[in-house]
Amino acid sequence: MASGLTSGVGQQIGADLMQIRSSIARAGHDADILPSAMDGQAGQPVDFSDVLKAAVRGTDDKERLASTRMADVDAGKSDDLVGAMLASQEASLSFSMLMQVRNKVVGAMDDLIKMQL
């Protein structure tokens, strides 16, 4: 029974990975969070924690950029309100995606904890 559960979880993870990759491909510019973009050589192992750290840093950078742009518009240093709003929305979407990844990881860990050996 454990192998059936394992293959089912593996298929679900594979389907989720395909969905994430297709979303990233549609977005186009966020491809830098893919593991293959992190390591310079194909076939080399990628550390999950490094990928997660890069995603968190990227999300934080987008939030800081959006905050700076909004502050510049508020202070009258810039009149690029549309650019500031787009940066804010991009940061918001990036954060939402990061939370979805976190929820998937927490759910997978819960499934692993509940698994009988």
DSSP 38-107: HSSSTT----HHHHHHHHHHHHHHHHHHHHHHHHHHHHTS---HHHHHHHHHHHHHHHHHHHHHHHHHHH
Q: What percent of the chain has pLDDT over 90?
A: 45
pLDDT greater than 60 at residue 85: yes
The candidate with the shortest Cα–Cα distance to 24, out of 32, 36, 13, 15, is 32
Query: Exposed (0-12), middle (13-18) or buried (19+): which is 98, by Cβ within 10 Å?
Result: middle
Q: What pLDDT sits at residue 29?
A: 53
Q: What pLDDT sits at residue 49?
A: 86
pLDDT greater than 70 at residue 54: yes
Higher-confidence residue of 35 and 23: namely 23
Query: What are the structural domain ranges in the chain?
Result: 32-114
Higher-confidence residue of 100 and 12: namely 100
54 Cβ contact partners less than 8 Å away, ≥ 6 residues apart: 32, 33, 38
Q: What pLDDT sits at residue 12?
A: 75
What is the rounded distance in angstroms from the CA atom of residue 14 to the CA atom of residue 6? 12
Average pLDDT, the chain: 80
Rounded to 5°, the CA angle 85-35-13 comes to 95
Query: Confidence class of residue 3 from pLDDT cuts 50, 70 and 90?
Result: very low
